[in-house]
């Protein structure tokens, strides 16, 4: 007889969930929610104590009142609603998926939560006495005509005074429902999901990077604790590990940025405290102020951004050599395209479904016909079609500043066969061998 799986542990990232762990499920309803859930331990959120909550189908755990709104607003939402939003978007569990929840004082669960929190916040000496686990398991989006589903989880933990939230993202395949302008076949476009925290006022809120933008599709490959797919926060008095918060945005430790459009105030996230220190400092005479996501940086004039494109070739006795993997490094991102596998790419070692939007749109990866295309705001585009063909488009600004198998792009055909050491080679064979990258055959490109 077939076996029914009623208790689920998808991977080490997620805490156990499902009916086997005495989870309940929210109703199968459009924009539905659980009944009001009285909680057995005080939970402090931005300094206010709460004693009940709701699990809302649309990716929200709220305090005092349910949240039926299906199209998310950007934070802050200042109408008094206080809630934790692991992935606020238009879920429809009538089509597919379950929304599970439970509060627990199980010793095994509390030990695991305690160990995790103390790893991320070693100075707190926290011992969990209560935990609440809500899991959106393989949920579809409203109006879906595809098989795309999301699986994510939020865990609230308290010792009666300190409160923490852990958000886990196993698999995010869509970002918006059809009623929010999303595409019924892809779950993309429209108004993207919002993730983070909202206290109900204008001052106390937090946006997980990429929220309310297409980049939120990559949330399962990001983290504030160096563990892709997991985000951890203290929320009684809001704090984040390994960084700080400036104007509701997360910054890693030691990050340096300029806070406003004119680049007249230079700020740094301090390594030994959650504070941001700012002082009057403008760009130097040979620098220009440029926008980078929500902050600004001083960058040298005429500076060309470094990029690199590599191909891993595979040769067999029965077939001609072909491209096994194509890799592009740009803006600190590592993008690997596997020919003939057009649905996904590897982003910084994490498998990610197409399309992908990185760094607020500075890099985009999408399928175009039979090709997978990497498009950058530098004007550089890389297109891979099958395992035999790669096309690289280079803008004029990079002419006379390139090297490699594409040549120098300086309108001088005499120096095209230039080796990495600057010498010129006599044959195409020697030239190609000089640009070989040594590595293990089975290692990622």
Position 40 in a domain: yes
Position 407 in a domain: no
In contact, 389 and 379? CB cutoff 8 Å: no
Average pLDDT, the chain: 86
Residues 216 and 289 in one domain: no
pLDDT at 85 over 80: yes
pLDDT value at residue 419: 80
Which pair of structure tokens corresponds to residue 235? 């929320």
- pLDDT band at residue 317 using 50, 70 and 90 as cut-offs: low
Residues 326 and 380 in one domain: yes
Which pair of structure tokens corresponds to residue 175? 């970002």
- pLDDT band at residue 252 using 50, 70 and 90 as cut-offs: confident
- Stretch 18-23: mean pLDDT: 94
Residues 331 and 189 in one domain: no
* Residue 282 Cα distances to 35, 290, 297, angstroms: 54, 12, 10
Position 3 in a domain: no
Residue with tokens 């006795």: 317
Q: What percent of the chain stands above pLDDT 70?
A: 91
Residues 230 and 257 in one domain: no
Which is more confidently placed, 350 or 183? 183
Count the residues in the chain: 445
Residues 58 and 103 in one domain: yes
**Among residues 366, 382, 398, which one ends one of the domains?**
398
**Among residues 241, 260, 290, which one ends one of the domains?**
241
Position 413 in a domain: no
Which is more confidently placed, 243 or 215? 215
In contact, 33 and 26? CB cutoff 8 Å: yes
Q: Which residues contact 16 (CB under 8 A, 6 or more apart)?
A: 7, 8, 9, 109
Q: Which residues contact 45 (CB under 8 A, 6 or more apart)?
A: 63, 82, 84, 163, 197, 199, 235, 236
pLDDT value at residue 122: 85
- CA 111 vs. chain centroid, Å, equals 28
For residues 399 and 412, give the distance between their C-alpha atoms in angstroms, rounded to a whole number.
11
Position 419 in a domain: no
Residues 262 and 326 in one domain: no
- pLDDT band at residue 323 using 50, 70 and 90 as cut-offs: confident
SS3 category, 282: coil
Q: Which residues contact 384 (CB under 8 A, 6 or more apart)?
A: 323, 326, 337, 339, 371, 372, 373, 390
For residues 279 and 199, give the distance between their C-alpha atoms in angstroms, rounded to a whole number.
29
Give the strands of the sheet with 256-258, arranged side by side. 276-280, 265-269, 256-258, 295-300, 287-292
Residues 72 and 214 in one domain: yes
Which is more confidently placed, 401 or 81? 81
- pLDDT band at residue 10 using 50, 70 and 90 as cut-offs: very low
Position 212 in a domain: yes
Residues 73 and 194 in one domain: yes
Residues 285 and 353 in one domain: no
pLDDT at 272 over 70: no
Vertex 52, ends 51 and 54: CA angle to 5°? 155
Count Cα neighbours of 433 within 13 Å in the Cβ-side half-sphere. Answer: 6
Specify the number of domains making up the chain: 3
Q: Output the CA torsion 62→67→69→73 (10° steps).
A: -30
Residues 47 and 88 in one domain: yes
pLDDT value at residue 152: 97
Residues 58 and 133 in one domain: yes
Position 410 in a domain: no
Per-residue pLDDT tens digits for 414-424: 677 888 877 77
Residues 140 and 215 in one domain: yes
Position 430 in a domain: no
For residues 179 and 143, give the distance between their C-alpha atoms in angstroms, rounded to a whole number.
7
For residues 338 and 348, give the distance between their C-alpha atoms in angstroms, rounded to a whole number.
14
- Host domain of residue 346: 307-398
Alpha helices, DSSP H, located in 312-427: none
């Amino acid at each position: 007889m077939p076996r029914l799986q009623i208790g689920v542990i998808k991977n080490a990232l997620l805490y156990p969930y499902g009916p086997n762990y005495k989870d309940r499920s929210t109703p199968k309803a459009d924009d539905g929610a659980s009944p009001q859930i009285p909680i057995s331990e005080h939970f402090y959120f931005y300094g206010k104590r709460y004693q009940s909550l709701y699990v809302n189908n649309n990716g929200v755990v709220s305090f005092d009142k349910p949240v039926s709104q299906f199209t998310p607003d950007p934070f802050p939402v200042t109408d008094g609603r206080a809630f934790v939003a692991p992935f606020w978007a238009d879920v429809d569990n009538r089509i597919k998926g379950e929304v599970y929840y439970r509060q627990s004082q199980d010793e095994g669960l509390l030990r695991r939560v305690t160990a995790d929190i103390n790893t991320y916040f070693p100075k707190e000496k926290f011992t969990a006495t209560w935990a609440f686990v809500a899991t959106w398991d393989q949920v579809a989006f409203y109006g879906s005509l595809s098989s795309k589903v999301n699986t994510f989880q939020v865990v609230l933990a308290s010792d009666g005074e300190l409160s923490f939230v852990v958000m886990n993202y196993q698999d995010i395949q869509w970002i918006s429902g059809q009623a929010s302008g999303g595409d019924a076949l892809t779950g993309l476009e429209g108004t993207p999901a919002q993730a983070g925290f909202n206290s109900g006022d204008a001052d106390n809120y937090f946006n997980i990077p990429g929220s309310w933008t297409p980049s939120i599709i990559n949330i399962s490959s990001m983290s504030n604790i160096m563990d892709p797919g997991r985000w951890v926060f203290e929320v009684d008095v809001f704090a984040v590990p390994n960084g700080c918060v400036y104007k509701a945005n997360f910054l890693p430790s030691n990050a340096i940025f300029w806070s406003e459009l004119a680049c007249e105030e230079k700020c740094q996230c301090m390594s030994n405290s959650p504070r941001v220190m700012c002082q009057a400092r403008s760009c130097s005479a040979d620098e220009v102020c440029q926008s980078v996501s929500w902050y600004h940086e001083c960058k040298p004039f005429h500076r060309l951004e470094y990029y690199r494109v590599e191909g891993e070739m595979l040769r067999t006795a029965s077939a001609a050599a072909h491209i096994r993997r194509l890799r592009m490094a740009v803006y600190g991102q590592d993008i690997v395209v596997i020919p003939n596998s057009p649905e996904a790419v590897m982003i910084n070692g994490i498998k990610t479904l197409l399309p992908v939007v990185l760094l607020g749109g500075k890099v985009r990866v999408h399928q175009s016909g039979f090709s997978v295309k990497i498009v950058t705001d530098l004007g550089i585009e890389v297109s891979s079609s099958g395992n035999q063909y790669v096309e690289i488009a280079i803008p004029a600004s990079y002419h006379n500043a390139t090297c490699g198998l594409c040549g120098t792009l300086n309108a001088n055909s005499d120096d095209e066969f230039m080796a990495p050491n600057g010498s010129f080679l006599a044959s195409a064979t020697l030239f190609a061998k000089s640009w070989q990258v040594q590595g293990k055959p089975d290692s990622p490109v």
